[in-house]
């Protein structure tokens, strides 16, 4: 069973916000939706061998945590689990089948928890919506979320 603070996704602004109940207390969500939004919406720290998008380089700028991004909460995880997806590395990628497959792979990586929690892996579909826009649908149990990500066309 899932139990998280409720999040509302604004597709126009491409961001989430906490939901308040009628009594102005934070609302609770018993579906996997908040976990899905956190998994695909946060930036996972890039691996040391991941090429960074153009304009970011360990050779052109001082080494820092922000170059490889990452969720600040990962530092507090006692098991060393990482949150989010590395799909941010595709921000300057070209519109190719390889880019689409890489996005799908990184989404699967970010949603590995679904199999542990539900016994079934997340269902993920990734497609080009239009030039420079990758769309993806993620389903865990009976709940699904549709999101998109801009990439260089």
β-partners of residue 125 are 137
pLDDT tens digits, one per residue of 39-77: 999 999 988 888 887 665 555 555 555 678 888 888 888
- What's the half-sphere exposure (Cβ side, CA atoms, 13 Å) at 145? 25
Q: What is the pTM of this model?
A: 0.83
Asked whether the CA dihedral 68, 96, 92, 34 is positive or negative, the reply is: negative
- Report d(CA 147, CA 100) in Å as an integer: 14
Q: Indicate left, alpha or beta for 70 from its phi (over 0: left) and psi (-120 to 50: alpha).
A: left
For 25-38, what is each residue's pLDDT tens digit? Answer: 999 999 999 999 99
């Amino acid at each position: 069973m899932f139990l998280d603070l409720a999040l509302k996704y604004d597709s126009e602004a491409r961001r989430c916000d906490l939901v308040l109940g009628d009594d102005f207390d934070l609302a609770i969500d018993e579906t996997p939706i908040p976990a899905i939004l956190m998994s695909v919406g946060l930036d996972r720290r890039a691996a040391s061998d991941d090429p960074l998008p153009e304009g970011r380089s360990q050779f052109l700028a001082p080494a820092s945590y922000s170059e490889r991004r990452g969720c600040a909460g990962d530092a507090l995880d006692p098991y060393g689990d990482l949150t989010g997806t590395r799909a941010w590395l595709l921000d300057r990628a070209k519109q190719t089948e390889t880019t689409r497959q890489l996005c799908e792979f990184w989404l699967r990586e970010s949603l590995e928890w679904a199999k542990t929690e539900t016994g079934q892996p997340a269902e993920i579909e990734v497609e080009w919506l239009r030039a420079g826009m990758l769309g993806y649908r993620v389903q865990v149990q009976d709940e699904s979320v549709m999101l998109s990500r801009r990439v260089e066309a």
